[in-house]
Structure 1
């Protein structure tokens, strides 16, 4: 009962009751004094109504003032200003509403502060990341770029508000191709006077505030690949040392046994000893030749090559389905080396597990005069870890693979002044792209 009397409703009912009681008593007194009931009612109404209006206005004035303060506070919340608090101390619904409003404001201020701290931490991590991150909107304008991206694309200057495609025109062709291709993959980027750089590019498209955004990530794998190559070479040295020991130790033992057989006049044992030594030597020779073939790659002997005849000869060696018409103008390259590259890539495509009739080869001349060769299949493609290591020497996912195929292809193409890119196809499968300089 006490709570209702202190509530806004209770106060209003109490005021109305008191005014009604006062009006009644005044009417009775006026009627007894004037002896005219109707006149008494009119006179009492003339007196009670102004008093009622003044009393209601006096009582409702703080209520109206507090309601306006609440409206202003809610408007501030709507505008993102959480600093407004209400100093209302009432023991009714308005007081409870003001307490709830202040609590909501405290929570929102705390959440904003925590969000700001998390954004600051995230921005610090992103800015210090070695990966180049670029966020663009539907029109291609840059909304965000970290420090690595600014150094890579705009000499360390701010990129926000600029068109990303315009910035790419100032980048090396390999990087421009990596950014504009509609698929994630591994790309070789060559800049003037610098060593080739291996870049892994990924793209993510998502909706933010009902608008489409695209996030580009450029991860340089050159240093990582160099470190892994060093570890790989150490492993290769151990493998070669192990293989040499496994072959030379039996040969040495057999040679000693042969000497003893000669001394003992056991010539019947020499034939088996020589056969075993010959087998061991042949195996060791084949093993060393496989590695020497990679280490002694000759410089390409470039000649003018007709594409129609070249592709016809290639098709007789490894079957494939041609895509489009070959260039009519000849190109200048080492036909034997490029043929070996395409044979390796087409064989890999056939061994990928996809349909044989989906192994395709496309050759086209680009606007800048370069020739683009694309080897496509419909196999399972490559995982991110395999894609990042595919070009490492001696890395292979095949049980009997040497891991030299793709590395040798890259070495041959780069020796021609071209570059290599690996990427998973959107609808499944793998695409290997080779760029060769124009004639």
Structure 2
């Protein structure tokens, strides 16, 4: 029957057949001479049994197929796509099971493809020199690579740990940068020396939960290579400046020698000497600028009144003082720190920030003194941010690239560190941190 009729046709045919049989049986009982009432009751009972049997027989393939589909879908829910269904003889049910099997095969291929991609991505991430941490909204580390384990926990596993329990085992500068959600360059020191690091923070939503991705990149080798390139550049620059001045001086000296013999050429001779003097002055200023960077004296630290420091800087560069000044006086070389602050405020103004948006804030704690200059200028790109502290690196057409480098040298000489961060909403924030050293309590 299933060979010639669809499932719907078989159900209709079964119902019609059951109706015919149920009607015929009472008449058969009457024909056989049985009691009429009993004949109708018996016929009705037998007819119901026959109807139920025929309907069950007609629906058995459907029930079997639905049960198989239910089991297969439960496997799908559990992530098991390996089960295929045996197609029944019924054409319509076979079409449904074939469709299920096609979906299962497609999901198996997709899962295998995703697994291969995840394996490739994990291999790349694990071999990356950048330290990667993925933290969920409860501050649990749900993913990390080998570089992160080595940097933050001496190579031991960190997945599943709370971030706040891990950081005390990490270098203090790294822990502070992670805790403060910083983005930019910073330095830290260990038994192998001083390292330059770049940290980046980003957030995204995964499985309806907010996650934080932390990327730490070792920049020491890149900065060293960049420094070599910078020294090559400065040698070329000095050579160019010397040639531009010495060549005309030599020519003018020869002309002056010839003019000495002609008393009526005194005015021309004076002009020659003036030009020579101007070129010599230019060379002197040029070399003194580099000498001041190369021969920075050791800081002479002393107790500094914060209000007096502000009053000395304010007439030279306009800015806004943010917050109250600390009660405890500072302890550093006032001349060098004043020079660093003036350079930084000047850079903020040249970056397009108005005087009102250039803010200086000062704070202290038991470990040291922090001076922060924030502006609303153009900020820095990631590439510039990584090289901004290098000597002779400048994005200005006429810049020699000594301002920020000199600030870094001053802060390093005090035993502190300098940090550059782009601000949300635009602008740059530069933090100078200075230790108390031997400051009186």
Q: Common fold, TM-score beyond 0.5?
A: yes
Aligned to 2:429: 431
Q: 1:364 to 1:203 in 2, by over 3 A?
A: same
Does residue 33 in structure 1 map to residue 32 in structure 2? yes
**Structure 1 residue 152 displacement after superposition:** 0.9
- Matched ranges for 1:224-303 at <5 A: 224-262=222-260, 268=266, 269-303=268-302
Aligned to 2:21: 22
| Aligned 8 A contact 1:379 1:429 in 2 | yes
CA distance in 2, matches of 1:316, 1:230: 38
| Aligned 8 A contact 1:346 1:375 in 2 | yes
CA distance in 2, matches of 1:45, 1:318: 109
Q: 1:43 to 1:190 in 2, by over 3 A?
A: closer
Which stretch shifts more, 283-292 or 4-13?
Answer: 4-13
Does residue 379 in structure 1 map to residue 377 in structure 2? yes
**Structure 1 residue 423 displacement after superposition:** 1.0
Q: Secondary structure at the match of 2:32?
A: helix
Deviations 1:37-95 (A, max 9, x none): 55443343343333333333334334322211111111111122111211122334322
| Aligned 8 A contact 1:5 1:11 in 2 | no
Q: Secondary structure at the match of 2:199?
A: strand
Aligned to 1:418: 416
Q: Secondary structure at the match of 1:34?
A: coil
**Structure 1 residue 262 displacement after superposition:** 4.4
Aligned to 2:213: 215
**Structure 1 residue 153 displacement after superposition:** 0.5
Aligned to 1:153: 152
| Aligned 8 A contact 2:152 2:171 in 1 | no
- Matched ranges for 1:117-196 at <5 A: 117-187=116-186, 189-196=187-194
CA distance in 1, matches of 2:426, 2:211: 24
Which stretch shifts more, 42-51 or 389-398?
Answer: 42-51
**Structure 1 residue 193 displacement after superposition:** 3.9
Which stretch shifts more, 229-238 or 306-315?
Answer: 306-315
| Aligned 8 A contact 2:380 2:422 in 1 | yes
Aligned to 2:94: 95
TM-score normalized with structure 1 length: 0.91
CA distance in 2, matches of 1:214, 1:170: 20
Q: Secondary structure at the match of 1:191?
A: strand
CA distance in 1, matches of 2:351, 2:239: 32
Q: Secondary structure at the match of 1:316?
A: coil
| Aligned 8 A contact 1:183 1:425 in 2 | no
| Aligned 8 A contact 2:23 2:47 in 1 | no
Aligned to 1:198: 196
CA distance in 2, matches of 1:229, 1:28: 111
| Aligned 8 A contact 1:199 1:218 in 2 | yes
Aligned Cα RMSD in Å? 2.4
Unaligned residue ranges in structure 2 (runs of 5+): none
| Aligned 8 A contact 1:303 1:333 in 2 | yes
Aligned to 2:393: 395
Aligned to 1:323: 322
Q: 1:212 to 1:222 in 2, by over 3 A?
A: same
Which stretch shifts more, 72-81 or 259-268?
Answer: 259-268
- Matched ranges for 1:325-364 at <5 A: 325-364=324-363
Aligned to 2:5: 6
Pairs aligned (count): 436
Deviations 1:369-426 (A, max 9, x none): 2111111222232222222222122222223222111111011101110000111223
CA distance in 2, matches of 1:365, 1:215: 30
CA distance in 1, matches of 2:191, 2:304: 29
Aligned to 1:109: 108
CA distance in 1, matches of 2:257, 2:375: 57
Unaligned residue ranges in structure 1 (runs of 5+): none
CA distance in 1, matches of 2:202, 2:190: 30
